[in-house]
Structure formats: structure tokens, C-alpha cells
Amino acid sequence: MNETGYPEHYNRLRGLLRTLRKDVPGPMSGFTHLHHEAMADGTLDKKTKELIALGIAIAVRCDGCITYHVHDALSVGASRDEIVDTIGVAILMGGGPSVMYGAEALQAVEQFETTTQGAS
């Protein structure tokens, strides 16, 4: 991850994605629709889907995805303990590199929780 904190990284990514949606409207419109449909409540609720997405993000080593899905998992009510369990499964599935990315995800949780508590 870069030198900024995760909340700042999240906001930076949101700005980059807005630009991408403007500059590449067709594919991004399709991706946005796919995201909304895939993450909508169904047999699995949004929280479960965000935890799955976070586990995959850790296992495939995507910094931006980890930032987004930690934020979004917390936003839909995932607890720190649920995220920690998700990190454990991601480590199982992704091996040693997922240990490092799991540590990054845990740091993101701590930073988002601190930011949220400070805003209350």
C-alpha cells in the first residue's frame, strides 16, 4: 500500500474511479451494473458478500480491492471479528503472500474504525 492511510486511499480511489467512469463509460457502466447486481441482497446478504470479496481480494493480492472491501464490509455491519475470520480463510487459500495482505487488511480495519469513531 502507498504511504497514505486507508481512509485517504479509499477516497483517492473513489476519485480515480469517477474519472475512469467518465473516460471509459461503456465498460465501467457494465462493471458498475455487474457490481450492484452481484452485491445485492439475495440468498447471501451484503455483509456476507463483502466478506467473500475481501477474502478474495487478500488471496489475489489487490491493494485497492482490500481497501474498498474492508470499508464496505464495515459499512454493512461486519465486525472486526468477522473480518479477522475472513483474513484467516484468505490466508488458508492464498498462502504466505496472503499473510502479508491479511496484515494490511487488518491495518485498514483499524484505520477505518478510528476514522469512524472520530467522526461520531
Q: How confident is the model over 71-101, as pLDDT tens digits?
A: 999 999 999 999 999 999 999 999 999 999 9
DSSP code string of 58-104: HHHT-HHHHHHHHHHHHHTT--HHHHHHHHHHHHHHH-HHHHHHHHH
Specify the pTM. 0.87
pLDDT at res. 116: 76
